[in-house]
Chain A
Amino acid sequence: MAVVAAPRSDQEFVSSTVVREQASLWRDGLRRLRRNRLALISAVYLILLGLVAIVALFWTPYPTSSIGVADIYSGPTSAHLLGADELGRDLLSRLMAGAQISLSVGLLSAAIVLGIGVVVGLTAGYFRGWVDSVISTVINIFYGIPALLVALLMVTVLGRSFTNVVIAISATVWMDVARLVRGQALSLREREFVEAARASGARTGKILFGHILPNALGPIIVAVTFVIPSAILFEAFLSYLGVGIPPPTPTWGAIASEGVQALRLAPHILLFPSIALSVTLLAFNFLGDGLRDAFDPRQKR
């Protein structure tokens, strides 16, 4: 892969009196990422959350949907650290399972969006002409309609389930990545190394995925990182409005919405899932910002 010398800030130039050995884009980026304390803390939090989600697959303090394990609406106690909900279910157990739902929705949607975005974007950017016009028009039409409401309708039409929620989210947030990949492909296809590859008889697929894609990977990873929090937000939004993953699956949005109904009696049912959701979104945003500064130095905020 081509070695790209990342532009350094003045400060770095002054401080490094010795010429550093040439670092690859990735090592350079990782070094910058390590210096970003907020991004590091976020990464640690997200790893911990991932561990909690995996643990929740096998074990939770109480079964997530067994009712009456605690007093109805009871607040935090030593036996039930986060209290109980309107059916006396243990809130901590439900939040742990909710972490698993949120993370899987986020990661799955991001993977699907990555797939769609890369294929659509590369096609539009590399082949240009009418292909590009058609794809760009479709992208513009999608930008012209409120994504969340489309997702909401899609889930209604397809039926409320985990899979359909992921499908609906992916179908409505793929444009950012596609547009970014298209732009990258448009500019990279004019570069000498692509010309060289074409001249030496490389097949189109090889040029697209072997030459253009690896060189656009930094910005693409950054963009996909930002898909995760918006997918998590979409899922919570749908569940909160009562049109997402159906009960009794404990999703953070659904628990928060149950909490709103019991606001007067037991505000903790609203507060705990809200905090979990907000902190997670915050962490993904910090991590995304950090990744952008580290791996996509050309792009300004």
Chain B
Amino acid sequence: MTRGMRNYIGQRVLLIAFTVLIVSFVVFLGIHSLPGNTFVNERVRGAGLAALLHQYGLDRPVLVQYWDFISHAVQGNFGVSIVNRGEAITPIILRELSVSAELGGAALLITIGMGITFGVIAALRQNTWVDYSLTTFAIIGYSVPSFVIASVFVLVFGIWLFDVTGGTFYYPLSWDGTYGTLIELTIPAVALGLFTSSLVARITRASMLDVIHQDYVRTARAKGLKNRVVVVRHALRNALIPVTSVLGPLIISIITGSVVIENIFGIPGLGKEFIQSILSHDYNVTVAVFTMYALLVGVANLAVDLVYTVIDPRIRY
């Protein structure tokens, strides 16, 4: 690792920390400026309410509360849930993060695998029916929202084909300590990855078409190299550079999509917790999850930029 590289990473880490700090601050202030409080639904009034507010430190000035939150958060302690009285948030979030990571990782694999394969095939068979049907498929995948795809999947596989699937892709509604098996995972992951893989297919096709008409590819063919070698080792490697440039937005889109996918399929991940905490006014959890998201996106973007340097050695930091 060069010195410039180390400086670059250092700068980026600082920027991530800065972003996370600002995001958590804004979200914290926003959430705590909401009228009413968590206990409104529980009809706690008077002295009981004051005691509860005091117990959770909610009667202090908001800036003091934020300082309390952030100084603990940097040590990895996100405080306690208000709705589930006193349950520590950090372990819950980490557990849910691992579930979301499983789903998101599978979706990312599908995105990259399916997207690049289809994009390359479409480019190699340009202007044939293969190309047209793959392109149409990609446009549809690009336009149909993930929640529609997911709901239709539930309809088809969960209801119409119930006899075949037995509803196996459904996680149990409450966490039972097991991760999804490969079969359980497939349908949610496809629903989540379809949008992004369409995007990847589109970009791969365009950049592949650019590349295969270049001279060095012709040279490689003229040397008598096998078609597979030319495509994979010469053309594809350069064609992938534009694809890596959208990896960051892709990951953000997978994280966003996982919120709705997890809610539809009942997967106990971060996204489900996020919506749950908003609907049940469990604001400590909301702030914690969102801070986690900001951190995740920052780290993912940094990782993507470092992958650049591997794929395209011309890029130096």
Contacts and interface: CB of A to CB of B under 8 A. Distances in A.
Contacts, number: 108
B71 interface: no
Contacts of B264: 260
Contact of B154 (A240, A243, A263): A263
Interface string B217-256: 0000000000000000000000000000000000010011
B161 interface: no
A286 B256 CA distance: 24
B154 A260 contact: yes
- How many chain B residues sit at the interface, stated as a range, is 35 or more
Interface string B119-162: 00000000000000000000110111101100110110011000
B293 A145 contact: yes
A222 to B, nearest CB: 16
B145 A281 contact: yes
B80 interface: no
A259 B154 CA distance: 12
Interface in B240-281: 252, 255-256, 259-260, 263-264, 274-275, 278-279
A149 B260 contact: no
A25 to B, nearest CB: 24
Contacts of A301: 202, 206
Contacts of B256: 146-149
A65 interface: no
A243 B147 CA distance: 15
B88 interface: no
B273 to A, nearest CB: 12
A153 interface: yes
Nearest to B264: A260
B152 A240 contact: no
A277 B148 contact: yes
A156 B278 contact: yes
Contacts of A237: 145, 147, 260
Interface string B183-223: 00000000000000000001000100000000000000000
Interface string B69-93: 0000000000000000000000000
Contacts of A281: 143-145
Given A153-B27, A242-B279, A270 B155 contact: yes
Q: Chain B CB within 10 Å — which of A144, A241, A278 has the most?
A: A144
What's the dominant secondary structure at chain A's contact region? helix
A267 interface: yes
B52 interface: no
A95 B37 CA distance: 36
A263 B275 contact: no
B22 A149 contact: no
B294 A153 contact: no
A281 B145 CA distance: 9
A243 B31 CA distance: 15
Interface string A217-239: 00000000000010001001100
A264 B159 contact: yes
A274 B142 contact: no
Given A144-B294, A260-B154, A264-B159, A278 B252 contact: no
Given A148-B259, A153-B286, A274-B148, 10 more contacts: A144-B16, A144-B294, A146-B252, A152-B278, A153-B30, A157-B33, A256-B147, A260-B154, A270-B152, A278-B140
Q: Nearest 7 CB-CB pairs, A to B?
A: A282-B143, A157-B30, A274-B148, A278-B144, A281-B143, A148-B256, A146-B256
